[in-house]
Amino acid sequence: MAEVISPTRMNLLQRRNQLRVAQQGVDLLKRKRDALVADFFKIVRQSLAARDQLAAACRDAYVLLAVAKAVEGREALEAAAIPARRDLLIDIEVRNVWGTKIPEVAVVPVRRQALERGQNPVATSARTIESAANFEEVVAAILAVAATEIKLRKIGEEIKKTTRRVNALEQVVIPRLRGETRYISSVLEQRAREDVFRLKRIKKKLEAKAADA
């Protein structure tokens, strides 16, 4: 059921104030959206570069792995890989962009020396050591891609949300407030004209009575 609007001066002032606030809100939301979109495309470029780096790292790593596997054998590679396993700690900071919390994933150093992996440089072939190093580069590239993907997803969701709010204000709230403002103004103006007309009639009657007296 549509809201019954009482055409009073107080309601007119209220609608005008609401309209002003809504228009200011649209301006702020558009500025926020523009800032987010600029940030989004900047990260898109970073994401594409990270994906290219990941593709190159994978290509080099798998080519050398195939060679090492053919020469050293699967068992030797698996034996060298077991002591090299480890957990990675990732630092995540939050950056505020126009009230939106954007996660910043810090890519930690991944590549290690052979001794840090638990590999014996004397007993382990150079191909195996290099293969392990290449796959650590792959892990670093994966983290770089993940860091950009997380930010893109968060910013993309916020852009959609902000756009919906802008559309709701521009297409629903502001037109409704403008229509209600016009309606109340029209009724008040009509009442004012009727009051002036009545005053003129009363004045004429008083003047006529004064002339007859």
Residue 17 scores a pLDDT above 70: yes
**Contact in structure between 105 and 90 (CB atoms under 8 Å):** yes
Read off the pLDDT of each residue in 89-113 and give the average, rounded to a whole number.
79
- Quote the distance between the C-alpha of residue 114 and its chain's center: 42
Q: For the chain, list the domains and their CATH numbers.
A: 9-206 (1.10.287.3240)
Task: Please name which of 33, 24, 150, 169 lies closest in space to residue 98, comparing C-alpha atoms.
Answer: 33
Q: What is the pLDDT of residue 3?
A: 61
Residue 95: exposure state from Cβ atoms within 10 A (0-12, 13-18, ≥19) = exposed
Residue 93 scores a pLDDT above 90: no
Q: Whole-angstrom Cα distance, residue 61 to residue 38?
A: 35
Residue 95 scores a pLDDT above 90: no
Residue 2 scores a pLDDT above 70: no
Question: pLDDT tens for residues 34-58?
Answer: 999 999 999 999 999 999 999 999 9
What is the share, in percent, of the chain residues with pLDDT greater than 90?
A: 40
Q: Which one-letter amino acid corresponds to residue 131?
A: S
Q: Whole-angstrom Cα distance, residue 25 to residue 198?
A: 43
Residue 98: exposure state from Cβ atoms within 10 A (0-12, 13-18, ≥19) = middle
